[in-house]
Amino acid sequence: MINLESRVRVRFAPSPTGTLHLGSARTALFNFLFARHAGGEFVLRIDDTDAGRSHEGHEQAILADLRWLGLDWDEGPDVGGSCAPYRQSERLGGYRAAADELLAGGLAYHCFCPVERLAELRAAALAEGRLPRYDGRCLGLAPYQVQRRLAGGEPAALRFRIPPGDIVIDDLIRGPVVVGADAVGDFIIVRSDGVAGYNFATVVDDRDMGITHVIRGDDHLTNTARQVLLFRALGAPVPGFAHHSMVLGADGGKLSKRHAATAVGDYRELGYLPQAVVNYLALLSWSHGDDEVLGMHRLVADFAVERLSRSPVVFDQAKLDWLDHEHIMALAPEVHERLFAARLPAGTPPPATAALAAAFQSSLVAYGQAAALAAAVLEPPAPPADLTAALAAAAPQLTWFRALRAEAPDWLPPTAARDLLAVYRVWGKEQGIGARDLLMPLRIALTGAEHGPELPFVLAALARDTTLRRLDLTLAGVLAGEPTTTHGDTP
């Protein structure tokens, strides 16, 4: 078990070089759940040291997506905190001081090797089947040589001097993980342009922000080996590390756009519920047995980082769709109606919105479908030619229903529409007309299709004038012996 005697502090540190990927959102979620379960702090830090690729617009989009998911943070660039600032580009002085400390202690050294030589070393190692690593050429430079070259203005990076022996990571999910020193090599902690490298800046910030646990994907294991050494070299406590598994596509490759939408913003635009996305991300690597539809309170209460799976998981779009549908079905009617209405064209009458929201709740996968589903009722129908015969035979009952609807109010709630249809069915029974021959032609006349939402909802979604107009145009086409068209219709 994890020792939580000290106050838990975790962080999520996205790079604002693109949108928030589902895999990154899953990492943020695990950190958030861990902090909330332990009563600790969740820190948001922006890793923007890559000035060429970082963009403020990406940062704002990432923050918006995290808020949409409900992953609120206790400290961060927008809310402040005792460890401000929370953008790495604003913390450069701390990196310089830490680098000077390592340099003075003989734990780091200047490297003057140009980029071209390093590229050659890498290519040669890969060609021979070896892991690329620096050959230590600049490690043997005498102090006077280093000072002379620096005084001459020669650009130099700072490399961390790897101590001999294997590096052991006491992983909270995987147990002890051993990384050989050969897999790491003397790595750059400060580039020749003075910018701190990812591993170095991360360690300095984690130290200075009092981060107690680091939860992230297992693709960071080699980075963690480097960071463990840096924590020790700086005399700082090593956080508890936990490396969860990666999310793969159906073909076993890393999840990408060829498999499905991969950005949180994509699912937001498609109309998925944030609680469903969170629910699905939590289930990846974390089994709850038969309990699968889970809210945030339950996830916080049950979270245990040790229970996360070590094995890669496959993204299942169908499972996400099922979960979103289940969460939609659990919404209060007024919430569902509001979300459904937000996806409909401006000016859609409220009675139509209410009827259609109720009609399609049981079949909705995501709210992005709302406009297309509603259009099947709201847009003027054009029945296919092969259905006109059924309409022609039903002219008497359509004429009778038209008169019935003409006497009813302008808008009918679904209950009143059911009552109206009940009267229609009683009349049909008296005339010896079966329910199918009554209702199917009516549906075709009103929607242009044989199948769709229940007729009471269709009638409730259409104003009286719209219903009468569609019936009139259908009957006119039947009498003329021509296919029916109702272009120009409005609700």
> Average pLDDT for residues 322-330, to the nearest whole number?
98
SS3 call for 108: strand
What is the overall mean pLDDT for the chain? 92
Q: According to the model, what pLDDT value does residue 90 have?
A: 95
Per-residue pLDDT band for 486 (boundaries 50, 70, 90) equals very low
Residue-range domains of the chain with CATH: 264-329 (1.10.1160.10), 333-491 (no CATH)
User: Between these two residues, 423 and 390, which has the higher pLDDT value?
Assistant: 423
98/119 Cα distance (integer angstroms): 28
% residues pLDDT > 70 (the chain): 94
Has 254 been annotated as catalytic? no
Between the CA atoms of 123, 128, 130 and 134, what dihedral angle is there, to the nearest 10 degrees?
-40
Cα separation, 285 vs 336, whole angstroms? 30
The pLDDT-based confidence of 491 (bands split at 50, 70, 90) is: very low
- With CA atoms as reference, report the closest residue to 342 among 283, 268, 242: 268
Q: Residue 290's pLDDT is what?
A: 79
Residue 275 has pLDDT above 60, yes or no: yes
Residues 453-475 have a mean pLDDT of: 96
Report pLDDT for 1.
37
Its pTM stands at 0.90
Mean pLDDT of 473-488: 64
What are 231-270's pLDDT values in tens digits? 999 999 999 999 999 999 887 877 765 555 689 999 999 9
Q: Is the pLDDT of residue 386 over 60?
A: yes
Q: What pLDDT was estimated at residue 199?
A: 96
C-alpha angle 316-321-325 in degrees, rounded to nearest 5: 150
Higher per-residue pLDDT: 491 or 351: 351
Pairing between β-strand 41-44 and β-strand 175-179 as defined by DSSP bridges: unpaired
pLDDT score for 490? 46
In this predicted structure, the answer to whether residue 69 has a pLDDT above a threshold of 90 is yes
The rounded distance, in Å, linking the Cα atoms of 284 and 315 is: 8
Mean pLDDT for 445-470 is 96
Give the pLDDT score at 257. 57
Which band of pLDDT confidence, cut at 50, 70 and 90, is reported for residue 384? low
Model pLDDT, residue 20: 95
**Average pLDDT of 198-202?**
96
pLDDT, residue 13, reads 97
Out of 254, 257, 319, 429, the active site residue is 257
> In this structure, what DSSP letter does residue 122 have?
H
Residue 487 has pLDDT above 50, yes or no: no
Lowest mean pLDDT among 74-83, 358-367, 376-385: 376-385
Window from 25-34, 48-57, 219-228, 379-388 with minimum mean pLDDT: 379-388
Q: What is the pLDDT of residues 141-163, one digit of tens each?
A: 999 999 999 999 999 999 999 99
pLDDT value at position 288?
A: 76
**Residue 282 in this model has a pLDDT that exceeds 90:** yes
What pLDDT shows up at residue 259?
Answer: 53
Kindly report the number of other CB atoms within 10 A of residue 152's CB atom. 7
Q: Given strand 240-244, what is the order of strands in its sheet?
A: 175-179, 167-171, 240-244, 213-217
158 sits in which H/E element: strand 157-160
Q: What is the mean pLDDT of residues 85-94?
A: 96
| Bridge partners, residue 159, by sequence | 109, 188
Residue among 16, 20, 48, 75 nearest 198 (CA):
48
| 3-state SS class at 193 | coil
